[in-house]
Amino acid sequence: MQRDIVFSAEWDDRAAELRGDAKALRTLRADAATRVLPVWRGRPLVAGTGQGALGWVPPGHAVLAQAKDDWILLGRHDGAVRFAADMSGWRPENLDQTAMAAFYDPTEYHHPDAPDDHLFAELRAVMTRLCPADAAMASTARGVLNWHRSHRFCSRCGQPSQISMAGWQRVCPSCSASHFPRTDPVVIMLVLRGNKLLLGRSPGWPEGMYSALAGFVEPGESLEAAVRREVYEETRITVSCVRYVAGQPWAWPNSLMLGFVAQAENDDITIDPAELDDALWLTREEMVDVMAGLHPTIRRPRSGAIAAELVARWLAGTLF
């Protein structure tokens, strides 16, 4: 039986019918049964030893005093209405701006009004320890908040826009244009040839980090065409038999990763240096060592990312 992809789970109800009901939203924001997820600069509040749960708090909790007023309605789950609140205006005393600008920053931050075991943590560090619904809600909150931070102005007239529909829309008071959260489709593909798998590494990645090839889908392009184009542009490998496997919402910043498998028709790699630092073929046996953390030069893919899941399914013979 195949595992669910991290962030792809569904929770009980997104409660879309409440998004435009201002009276109901005011009532829910004052309801002690409601639960709110504080999110600081994309990092959800996580709770408990081992950080296996999100740090949901009631609406009146002191930690929310510094939250922005426009909460994001996530829906209903386990008998409670769920919101996410942006805490990005809070500045911790030990803030490390240099670390936060790095490719991956595992630093955790404690808010003085939160319980001692509650920390704002990098979602990628805890995603495999959260229950599937919590991981999906945290990813959704991060993605929607990312979109609001980068779409503060109307794309039609350039004037400041305002949050509407409980966070699921922005409206422009100047020209009345409506704007909706953006998701960018990205194809990510296992390219196979016999017993071998094609991997590549992008410029700026940590040493030893390789992954499946990936790229954004262009306007007017089918997903299968995007797979063929991206592989050829990056490596000059021609592929056929392109087949969809699974998808993963990925809020870094606002992508939907669409996992494919494809068969290579040639072996010789010619990389595009603007896209890749390196690309190589690895045998199934070598990938077993990579996934076990035993390969001398190539790091294991991040647990929870769709690339690691696709490789694991290939090695297990459950890709389809």
What local confidence, expressed as pLDDT, does residue 96 receive? 85
Determine the Cα–Cα distance for residues 133 and 139; give it in Å rounded to an integer. 10
Residue 193 shares a structural domain with residue 310 = yes
Determine the Cα–Cα distance for residues 68 and 29; give it in Å rounded to an integer. 13
In one-letter notation, the amino acid at residue 194 is G
Let me know how long the chain is.
Answer: 320
Residue 178 shares a structural domain with residue 298 = no
What local confidence, expressed as pLDDT, does residue 249 receive? 97
CATH code of the domain in which 213 resides: 3.90.79.10
In one-letter notation, the amino acid at residue 196 is K
Give Cβ neighbours of residue 315 (< 8 Å, ≥ 6 apart): 284, 287, 288, 291
| Mean of per-residue pLDDT scores for the chain | 95
What local confidence, expressed as pLDDT, does residue 185 receive? 98
Hey, how many other C-beta atoms are within 10 angstroms of the C-beta on 67?
Answer: 21
Determine the Cα–Cα distance for residues 135 and 140; give it in Å rounded to an integer. 9
Residue 28 shares a structural domain with residue 122 = yes
Nearest alpha carbon to residue 41 among 177, 151, 142, 162: 142
Residue 88 shares a structural domain with residue 155 = no
Number of domains in the chain: 3
Residue 140 lies inside a defined structural domain of this protein: yes
Residue 171 lies inside a defined structural domain of this protein: yes
Predicted confidence (pLDDT) per residue in 92-141, tens digit: 988 888 888 888 888 999 999 999 999 999 999 999 999 999 999 999 99
Mean pLDDT of 200-207: 94
Q: Which domain holds residue 252?
A: 184-316
Determine the Cα–Cα distance for residues 237 and 91; give it in Å rounded to an integer. 48
Residue 219 lies inside a defined structural domain of this protein: yes
Residue 196 shares a structural domain with residue 156 = no
Determine the Cα–Cα distance for residues 289 and 294; give it in Å rounded to an integer. 5
Determine the Cα–Cα distance for residues 156 and 263; give it in Å rounded to an integer. 43
What local confidence, expressed as pLDDT, does residue 2 receive? 47
Predicted confidence (pLDDT) per residue in 270-279, tens digit: 999 999 999 9
What local confidence, expressed as pLDDT, does residue 237 receive? 98
Residue 27 lies inside a defined structural domain of this protein: yes
Q: How confident is the model at residue 1 (pLDDT cuts 50, 70, 90)?
A: very low
Burial (CB count within 10 angstroms: exposed 0-12, middle 13-18, buried 19+), residue 78: exposed
Bridge partners (DSSP) listed for residue 45: 120
Residue 7 lies inside a defined structural domain of this protein: no
- Under 8 Å between Cβ of 105 and 112: no
Residue 88 shares a structural domain with residue 178 = no
Q: Which of 26-40, 90-104, 217-231, 294-308 has the lowest mean pLDDT?
A: 90-104
Predicted confidence (pLDDT) per residue in 292-307, tens digit: 999 999 999 989 999 9
Residue 121 shares a structural domain with residue 178 = no
Q: Please state the φ and ψ torsions of residue 233, each to the nearest 5 degrees.
A: -60, -40
Residue 232 shares a structural domain with residue 293 = yes
Q: Compute the radius of gyration of the chain from its Cα atoms.
A: 21
Residue 209 shares a structural domain with residue 290 = yes
Q: Please state the φ and ψ torsions of residue 134, each to the nearest 5 degrees.
A: -65, -45
Residue 22 shares a structural domain with residue 137 = yes
Give Cβ neighbours of residue 80 (< 8 Å, ≥ 6 apart): 33, 34, 35, 56
**Which residue bears the tokens 């569904």?**
10
pTM above 0.85, yes or no: yes
Residue 209 lies inside a defined structural domain of this protein: yes
Give Cβ neighbours of residue 65 (< 8 Å, ≥ 6 apart): 113
Determine the Cα–Cα distance for residues 96 and 296; give it in Å rounded to an integer. 32
Residue 309 has pLDDT above 70, yes or no: yes
- Under 8 Å between Cβ of 218 and 288: no
What local confidence, expressed as pLDDT, does residue 97 receive? 85
Residues of the chain with pLDDT > 70, as a percent, come to 98
Residue 309 shares a structural domain with residue 238 = yes
Residue 5 lies inside a defined structural domain of this protein: no
Mean pLDDT of 23-42: 97
Residues of the chain with pLDDT > 90, as a percent, come to 91
Residue 6 lies inside a defined structural domain of this protein: no
Residue 161 shares a structural domain with residue 216 = no
